[in-house]
Structure 1
């Protein structure tokens, strides 16, 4: 009971803090640019940490940890892919993305994408808005589901009530403070996550008797496939599995909620510092979660995998500390929804190209879109449950394949005809969705790499030669 009381008190305090940030940020929202891009005034720490938190919440804390726990070292192929995404977005795409946003006054990454699209710009905007809304409903549902799973795991609280309350709080501070509020709360979330990913793994490793004892227990009890970098697959199937996991990092190159952070940084110097902060954060997070997963497996901790983090906190930390960690991480998982809701809202009110009459009316429609997307995602969470890792990866990979090739090539200086950009977006998305629904490592490679290859081929064909 002591632990439950602490969890509830921490949850309440955290939610009140988020609302306070929303009210504070609302005073700094005077225009569409302020609401959706914080007036391009983010510093390195806010941008770097909020990017990190937006790219790595429920699916990392719960999904990645569960995958290492259940499947072994094959899951580590995700790590170089994720860090490759960090480098490409911040350091390769970032310079032009940030500079052109300042020069031309872009509000969203779709503005950047359609700059040279001429008469195709509106069609591409409509298509992009539809894809973003479709994918983010699944992504948001995964965050809500993660929170519901955790509450059930920890103290049997009604997941339905908790999800509805959490969604309401997130909606309020997003509606008030927009992108600035979301970025500050996400930076706070990133700090909470990194502390939790130090404390809980150290406690689990200590309970297991140290790293040597963990490895001895795993060697004695686990099959050889657990230590293989291709899992239980061999030959081309093993290579396909590894390549499929590695290719997950490509998804970062097409995520509006991530690229918006880079667009919003106040200077190129701050952008480089933001990149270093994101990468350093990732090193701490992934190292801690691998240690946690292996320690939990060595001790045969009774968990389905995706609940490992909360089960370990409850088992190996004093009740007071466990309560704070669980509640803080739970709130952090749910607050990732803010960035997704903002991207969905900007897709409706700005990217779609629909004429709303006045800027204030456009903002109103964006806010109404937030509410609609959140309600639909809550319904999906409650009535169509699916594992977190799968649901997030579907959205991540499909959006990455749709937008990533076109945004990357434009950052590299390509000028491509609007019709080719439109086709590349459709073909990349459709190829990823079809491959996603076909089992096997071969289809996984097509989903992650083949969809990108098709998009790049179309863009190369439609490229306008300079001079």
Structure 2
């Protein structure tokens, strides 16, 4: 069996497994609550790995190792920020959010929770937050589909558009059939594959370079002292602005609907404690090993230097190249190597399916039922959700059609937009009972608009504020949104007594939910 055939077989087994999970979960999905929230029955391990796999995407196995490979460990500040953000999200946000969404009329989505939390009878919050989700996640889904297309193209030489279709079709099939349960179950499998790949590949590679690591780094054209320093970013000393901007990625976690919905779906408080431990351990190990892959890969892949040697692929393919070098040239187990490359595909798919489902739930449950047809039956909402899943996948497919389009900047903007719009409001909704409806609306709009202005409007000498300052828009957007929530809430009428009573009820439920 040739190397290419062996890797193709590994991919075929993996993709058929994902579709099989979708078929199995379809039998358990009977209503909208099952389709969008899994009936609030997630176990601890599934919730933990599903949340983290859907969070990290291809960035963990391609983007982060690639930036470390190219510029050194100074690029690890973003990993530190994401690690701290993950820990804070599970320890501070998860339990209160699960409790409050149950008390707030068993809310199934984040926009529905905001509407119920503030008794928004005109459904302004529902409309604004749903629109923000659809816009940002449509582009986010497209970026994930494009990453999958490029992976197939790199590994097999398959035409990008054919590869894009294959990846999109598989994700659509199991998400369409099994909904949230299928997404979480496949994400559990994918998160496990990602961790195994991260553990084994760098350990084997290190065995080949450990004896002469420093000299090999020098041969690859880097200053080993600066390359291994957290205080250098490539060839220059890292600036405070760069550190703040990278750490600020962690702020986005408390505003990510595709992660927060896992907290809402966990079975009980006991399972939540399990999830927290598993998720935190997973993310610390995974981020650390992703950094190790970038560093070890710099020495391991010599004499080829990615991004510099003629004909060599980009630095983001460092993990793929390490797997192929190890399991094709050194160990000669191409099928096993193919399964590890599937770990990269798993990272991409686990994010795309979650984003697809969040878009679907926003359109069908929040916009269709919540705004236009409140009398819609559970079955009708489920059917609209499945139809929306197809439409959103098709639109994302169209957006991702151009193989030369840069999606990383859009991913950064989407993370900033969602984090700045939703993050402060989630925090204040859970921990400050004086927050009111006008403050919530002001926070949503100011956070999203700040990110758009900061990244796209040239208002400083013909430059955007981001280009002029280098400061990540999430930092500014998060702070401004938080200020608007507090100031507008204090300047307007206090929440009605029924909202305060519900807030106190949620605090009591949080204490006794076992």
Same fold (TM over 0.5): yes
* Mapped pair 1:447 → 2:462: no
Give 2:430's aligned residue: 411
Contact 2:53 2:350 in 1 (8 A): no
Give the Cα separation in 1 of the matches to 2:236 and 2:204: 35
Give 1:382's aligned residue: 401
Give 1:11's aligned residue: 11
Contact 1:435 1:443 in 2 (8 A): no
RMSD: 2.3
Secondary structure of the residue aligned to 2:42 is coil
Give the Cα separation in 2 of the matches to 1:192 and 1:322: 12
* Mapped pair 1:398 → 2:413: no
Give 2:392's aligned residue: 373
Contact 2:143 2:400 in 1 (8 A): yes
1:387: Cα distance to partner?
4.0
Give 1:67's aligned residue: 67
* Mapped pair 1:354 → 2:371: yes
Secondary structure of the residue aligned to 1:100 is helix
* TM-score with structure 2 setting the length: 0.85
Write out per-residue CA displacement over residues 190-236 of structure 1, whole angstroms, 9 at most, x where no aligned residue: 000001111221232223x21x633443356314653352415878x
1:451-462 correspondence runs (5 A)? 451-462=477-488
* Mapped pair 1:342 → 2:357: yes
Give 1:112's aligned residue: 113
1:414: Cα distance to partner?
3.1
Picking from 327, 330, 342, the partner of 2:342 is: 327
1:68: Cα distance to partner?
0.9
Q: Gaps spanning 5+ residues in structure 2: where?
A: 307-312, 457-463, 501-514
Contact 1:240 1:441 in 2 (8 A): no
* Mapped pair 1:309 → 2:319: yes
1:386: Cα distance to partner?
3.5
Write out per-residue CA displacement over residues 374-412 of structure 1, whole angstroms, 9 at most, x where no aligned residue: 111111212264345333222112111110000111121
Aligned length: 464
1:172: Cα distance to partner?
1.6
1:282: Cα distance to partner?
1.2
1:109-188 correspondence runs (5 A)? 109-119=110-120, 122-188=123-189
Change (3 A) 1:335 1:440: closer
* Mapped pair 1:423 → 2:442: yes
Give the Cα separation in 1 of the matches to 2:442 and 2:436: 10
Change (3 A) 1:161 1:70: same
1:429: Cα distance to partner?
1.0
Contact 1:59 1:388 in 2 (8 A): no
Give the Cα separation in 2 of the matches to 1:18 and 1:397: 30
1:185: Cα distance to partner?
0.3
Give the Cα separation in 1 of the matches to 2:39 and 2:349: 25
Contact 2:35 2:181 in 1 (8 A): yes
- 324-333 or 137-146, which moves further after superposition? 324-333
1:255-270 correspondence runs (5 A)? 255-270=256-271
Write out per-residue CA displacement over residues 83-108 of structure 1, whole angstroms, 9 at most, x where no aligned residue: 22212221111121111233331101
1:77-88 correspondence runs (5 A)? 77-88=77-88
